[in-house]
Structure 1
Amino acid sequence: MKLLIPVLFFTCTLFSQNFTWTVLPLPTTKTVYSIDFRDSLYGFAAGDSGLVLKTTDGGHSWQDISVSRNLTVSDITFTSKTTGFAVGIDFETPPFGTLFFKTTNGGDSWVESRYREDEAYMLALHFLDSLNGWTSGLEGKIAYTTDGGSEWYPALNDTAEFTNFPVLGFSFYTDSLAFAFGGHIDIAGVIWRTTDGGQYWKSHGVGPEPIKGIIVFDSLNLLGIGGDFEYGTAVVRSTDSGLTWDYRSLDIFGVPFGLSFRNATEVWTALGFAEKFIYSTDVGQNWTEVPSPDSGVVYDIQFTDSVTGYTAGRLGYFAKYSRTTVGIEDGGSPALPANHALGQNYPNPFNPVTEIPVELSEAATIKLTIYDMRGREVREIAAGNFDAGNHLFSFQSEGIPSGIYFYRLEITGQSNKKESIVRKMVLLK
């Protein structure tokens, strides 16, 4: 039986420009390198010594679901609340190499498998669904699976100019158009591009330091971020679907880790040992530095919507971003909405991100879900308890085709009265 570990609040918060980061220490002193949240409450954290933790209440308590190996879990990703994958490098049992872990029961148990090559070291994972996924790592390796990780097949990787350069991660725009990123310190940052669903990847040198993350705004416009301790942080930008890139140094000390939208125009990254974040409110043109609360060393960051985000890092560091937007009347007291309401998403039509406004006249339990024209659930945007006030949720359409979709808000109020509101949105790619 797994142990559910409560976490005490520490009242260290960081306030700046209407956002709040609150430190919620994890029940461990192990370093966390990867987090993956399915919604504003349900998420996972992974790191040193086989560490895997699960929360179902937004980081206030954690369940230890660690894998049974003493290795660093470098990446973790879930395609649902039950099906997930993790990767780590085994240096204990010769021949050394990469181990994958898969769960279909939310981490209650893990099935272990070894990568097809000995002494091949994979670092990152990306899964579009429970079957189709990609992994990447050192020596320019990229591989794919079509059966949920039982078998991995090497992709064709154009490494003639960048042989043996590490591939550190992925960003998919559609099932066919995707990008991988990485590079070698003091030599070059590299972005690999595929247009055939990851069978063949073409490399592009984009700057003097490794690229640590990419965000795809639409089929033409992309933003990447990278850096090292010598050059500091830099951004690269493409306006032609990744065929050419413009490089710009930000003159900010720190190495980026992770890149995440908070809303349609605001993007954040964590700067590791620099003990700070930087964020941009104009899709990467200008950047603002923000110290991490308690001087935390942060290695990953993720926003689940415009009002909820998470970051984690060294020695069990974990913090949560939260904000409830409530209007203020002349007397200084909150002006709460008169009724529950689900607003029209904006922009609409949209690509790739839109925002959905929700008004709650009282604290309530809500569920916000996207459906396709046939009534099939596409994605759960938010679920859990929310305060009275105005809330804004972001929907990112990665891996979803163009079409008409419906978003449904289910509300259970304090008197257990249930409401359901549905609106329509249009995705154009």
Structure 2
Amino acid sequence: MKRIYTILLALMLIAGMNVKAQDTWTKVANTTDLEIVDIKTYGNTILAAAGEKVLISTDAGSTWQLKDLPANSGNTGVRSLLLINGKIYAGTFGAGVLVSEDMGASWRKINSGLTTDFASHLVYAGNAIYAGTPGAGVFRLDLTGGNETWTAINQGINDIGGLIVQTLVATPDRLVMVSDYDGKSYYRDLNGSSWTLNRIVPAQEQFMTFQAIVHNSNIYLATEKGVYRSNNGGEAWTRLNVIEGDYLAACFAASGNILYTLVSSTVPGPGAGTYVRHTDNNGDQWSTAFLPDISFFTMHIAYGKIFVGNADGLYYKNNPATSVEDEETVVKGFGLSQNYPNPFNPSTKISFEIMEAGNYTLEVFDITGKSVGLITSGYMDAGRYSVNFDASKISGGVYVYRLSNGVNSIMKKMMLVK
């Protein structure tokens, strides 16, 4: 895996990237020589995979703590992190999957059923964790009833290469992965029994994927051949013209309706260079958000800041490309994003995240405070959700949508244009 990040950095340097950090970046203390490969936020909590350690902030980045995993665990590098109902799950190289129930103070292995000690990707969907591995395929851990035994879910993968998981993502109802290094893509319904193969590029063509992300119901891949998008759950892929010519895409970040990607030209010519590009229309058009002045291979945007990780630590600065209004608004236990599209007619999508399971209500009001639609109400497990609001039967104007758990609530405005 470290070879992949070495390739990324080398290609960006060849493309002419200035890797000298400017004084606008702040480096998180005690992260020198720690390879940062995964950054996630949950409310005010930030988790970062930092070499053989886990870096944690519980106050939106004001203070940080480095947490050690057990010295005798066999861990040689944390690759992926999840925070679910107060528990941190760490996918590692050498120690399988570990869990902490006290925010990193202590850890224990949960590897029953795993046939490998290498878990490079962890995703959460449908009250289960899925672990992608570089050689043993995908495993499922059902979190109901205190279960801690993994089950292999590799039906439909008929060759050894298909078990080498490069990237793994989950939509509300489907898993999608890219495996091997020749463009194999597989998709599987969460309640399905088998994977379906779908190639991104022709057989025998080298194809390395660095990251996948789900944004506005689309799946995006950052690959050595550019950005690819699927709008049908991995059943078909389209290469996007993020910049002209041949280019490499290293990673993604999302903020509200905006998707960012770090790209670098792979051939010399007019416009060659390295850019952070962004789109607010699902990848149909792109523009330059900013020119990076530091090398990195993972990034994350939250709290009006951009966080980036490289082989020498974690850095952050104010996000130069968006305002705070574009960010997800977060209170204790849940977060609410701006609807997309906005303005809209007649329907729009509202996304929100539940960090603490419980009873929640999402409702729409007009400017007088009258309810015009109850979108969803009831018990919800921790996870990310997206719902459609159909406004075909109400008049145009400004409306407010509110997510509430009975104690706290978040409200955002949206505009219906008719």
User: What is the TM-score normalised by the length of structure 1?
Assistant: 0.64
Cα distance in structure 1, aligned partners of 2:65 and 2:352: 33
Name 1:74's counterpart in structure 2.
79
- 1:139 aligned onto 2:135: yes
SS at match of 1:285: coil
Give the distance between the partners of 2:176 and 2:339, measured in 1 at CA.
28
| Contact 1:101/1:110 (8 A) holds in 2 | yes
Alignment-mate amino acid for residue 106 of structure 2? S
Q: Label 1:271 to 1:76 Cα distance change in 2 as closer, same or farther (>3 A).
A: farther
Aligned residue for 2:135, secondary structure, equals: helix
Q: Is the 8 A contact 1:310 1:320 kept in 2?
A: yes
SS, match of residue 309 in structure 2 = strand
* Distance (Å, rounded) in 2 between the aligned partners of 1:68 and 1:103: 11
Structure 2 partner of 1:56 = 58
Q: CA contact under 8 A between 1:136 and 1:142: conserved in structure 2?
A: yes
Match of 1:224 among 220, 223, 232: 220
1:158 shift after superposition: 2.6
The partner residue of 1:65 within 54, 64, 67 is 67
Q: Which residue of 1 aligns with 2:360?
A: 371
**How many Å separate the matches in 2 of 1:102 and 1:343?**
29
2:255 equivalent in structure 1: 262
Determine the C-alpha separation between the residues in 1 that align with 2:337 and 2:161. 50
**Mapping of residues 408-419 of structure 1, within 5 Å:** 408=404
CA contact (8 A) 1:409 1:422 kept: no
Q: Conserved in 2, the CA contact under 8 Å of 1:268 and 1:280?
A: yes
Would you say the 8 A contact 1:140–1:163 is kept in 2? no
CA pair 423-216 structure 1, distance change in 2 beyond 3 A: closer
Quickly say closer, same or farther: Cα 1:325–1:226, change in 2 above 3 A.
closer
- Counterpart residue identity of residue 27, structure 1: N
| CA-CA distance at 1:120 after TM superposition | 5.6
Are residues 1:25 and 2:36 paired? no
Decide whether aligned partners of structure 1 residues 194 and 263 sit closer, same or farther in structure 2, where only a CA change above 3 A counts. same
Structure 1: state its 5+ residue gaps: 1-9, 14-21, 91-97, 328-341, 356-368, 380-396, 412-418
Aligned counterpart, 2:175: 178
Deviation of 1:271 after TM superposition, in Å, equals 5.4
Give the Cα–Cα distance (whole angstroms) in 1 for the partners of residues 36 and 27 of structure 2: 14
Q: Which amino acid aligns with 1:246?
A: T
What is residue 90 of structure 2 aligned with on the other side? 86
User: 2:291 aligned with 1:291, yes or no?
Assistant: yes
One-letter amino acid of the counterpart of residue 239, structure 2:
Y
**Counterparts of 1:344 and 1:163 in 2: how far apart (Å)?**
40
C-alpha displacement of 1:135:
0.4
Structure 1 residues 399 and 142: CA distance shift in structure 2, 3 A: farther
Rate the CA distance shift 1:263–1:301 in 2: closer, same or farther, 3 A.
same
After superposition, the Cα gap between the structure-2 partners of 1:65 and 1:116, relative to the gap in structure 1 and judged at 3 Å, is: same
- Pairwise mapping of residues 348-427 of structure 1 onto structure 2 (< 5 A)? 349-351=347-349, 353=351, 371-372=360-361, 374=377, 398-399=384-385, 406-408=402-404
- Output the CA distance in 1 between the equivalents of 2:49 and 2:63: 15
Aligned CA distance change for structure 1 residues 314 and 322 (closer, same or farther; 3 Å): same
Contact 2:248-2:263 at 8 Å conserved across structures:
yes
Q: Offset of 1:239 from its aligned partner?
A: 4.1
- Counterpart pick for 2:235 among 233, 238, 243: 243
1:166 matched to 2:137: no
**CA distance in 1: counterparts of 2:22 and 2:63, whole angstroms:** 16
Match of 2:367 in 1: none
Deviation track 1:290-328 (CA, whole Å, cap 9, x = no partner) reads 4333x23x23222347x444222221132244478599x
Amino acid at match of 1:260: A
RMSD: 4.2
Quick check: 1:181–1:214 contact (8 Å CA) kept in 2?
no
- Cα deviation for residue 121 of structure 1 reads 3.0
Identify if the C-alpha distance between structure 1 residues 181 and 149 changes in structure 2 by more than 3 Å, giving closer, same or farther.
Answer: farther
> Per the alignment, in what secondary structure is the counterpart of residue 61 of structure 1?
coil
Quick one: distance in 1 between partners of 2:42 and 2:274?
26
Whether 2:23 is the aligned partner of 1:12: answer yes
Deviation at 1:108, TM superposition (A): 2.0
Aligned to 2:196: 202
Give, in whole Å, the separation in 1 of the partners of 2:114 and 2:123.
19
1:403 shift after superposition: 8.2
Classify 1:234/1:420 alpha carbon distance in 2 versus 1 (closer, same or farther; 3 Å): closer
Q: 1:343 to 1:299 in 2, by over 3 A?
A: closer
Call closer, same or farther: CA 1:111–1:117 in 2, change over 3 Å: closer
* Corresponding letter in the other structure for 1:45: A
Aligned match of 1:152:
150
- Does structure 1 retain, via aligned residues, the 8 Å contact 2:121–2:131? yes
Q: 1:171 to 1:71 in 2, by over 3 A?
A: same
Structure 2 residue runs of 5 or longer lacking an equivalent are 1-20, 267-272, 326-335, 362-375, 391-400
Instruction: Report the Cα offset of residue 163 of structure 1.
Output: 3.0
| Aligned length in residues | 330
CA contact (8 A) 2:90 2:99 kept: yes
Query: Which residue is 1:7 aligned to?
Result: none
CA positional deviation for 1:78:
1.0
Query: What does the per-residue CA deviation read over 1:354-407, in whole Å, with 9 as the maximum and x for residues that have no partner?
Result: 89xxxxxxxxxxxxx99325575777xxxxxxxxxxxxxxxxx84466789832
Q: How far apart, CA to CA, are the structure 1 residues paired with 2:406 and 2:27?
A: 29
- In structure 1, the residue matched to 2:315 is 318
Is the CA contact 2:352–2:386 (under 8 Å) kept in the aligned structure 1? no
Q: 1:262 to 1:344 in 2, by over 3 A?
A: closer
Residues 216, 149 of structure 1: alpha-carbon distance in 2 compared, 3 angstrom cutoff? farther
